[in-house]
């Protein structure tokens, strides 16, 4: 799944309007244990409007972050969206063995 020192780009779309989002926490889990969490704020360059009713999140897992995962165990992404009004919305993306709901692109190191 991962190679030592590899950078991984994740791109996915969430059904929320960007102007209503305060921040998003993405939790990566293996064996139901959180191995890595990323927080992305609405003013970050990693978050942009996709359509009038959805937001695109696009970010890179760094080399050290990608080493947090065990290669032989699929991971699951849980996305918690925190709105400006204080509410939280949780969704689960499909796991890494059937990447249908997000796009995984391997970035090569220059």
- Model confidence pLDDT, tens digit, residues 63-74: 778 777 777 777
Residue 1 has pLDDT above 50, yes or no: no
Q: Is the pLDDT of residue 103 over 50?
A: no
33 class by beta-carbon count within 10 Å (0-12 exposed, 13-18 middle, 19+ buried): exposed
Query: Which CATH architecture does the domain made up of 7-63+73-107 adopt?
Result: Sandwich (2.60)
Tokens of 40: 């992305």
- Distance CA(27)–CA(37), nearest Å, equals 4
Residue 77 is predicted with a pLDDT of 82
Residue-wise pLDDT for 23-46, tens only, equals: 999 988 888 899 999 999 999 999
Q: Which residue has the higher pLDDT, 101 or 68?
A: 68
| Residue (of 72, 60, 73) closest to 5 by Cα position | 60
pLDDT value of residue 5: 55
> What whole-number distance in Å separates Cα of residue 35 and Cα of residue 31?
9
Contact 103, 11 (CB under 8 A): yes
- Mean pLDDT for the chain overall: 77
Q: How far is C-alpha 39 from the geometric centre of its chain's CA atoms?
A: 9
Specify the DSSP element, H or E, that contains 39: strand 33-41
């Amino acid at each position: 799944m991962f190679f030592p020192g590899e950078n991984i780009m994740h791109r996915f779309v969430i059904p929320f309007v960007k102007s209503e989002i305060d921040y998003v926490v993405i939790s990566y889990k293996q064996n139901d244990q959180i191995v890595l969490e990323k927080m992305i704020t609405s003013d970050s360059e990693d978050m942009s409007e996709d359509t009038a009713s959805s937001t695109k999140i696009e970010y890179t897992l760094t080399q050290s972050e990608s080493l947090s995962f065990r290669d032989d165990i699929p991971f699951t992404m849980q996305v918690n969206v925190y709105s400006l009004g204080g509410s939280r919305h949780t969704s689960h993306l499909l796991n890494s063995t059937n990447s249908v709901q997000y796009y995984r692109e391997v970035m090569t190191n220059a």
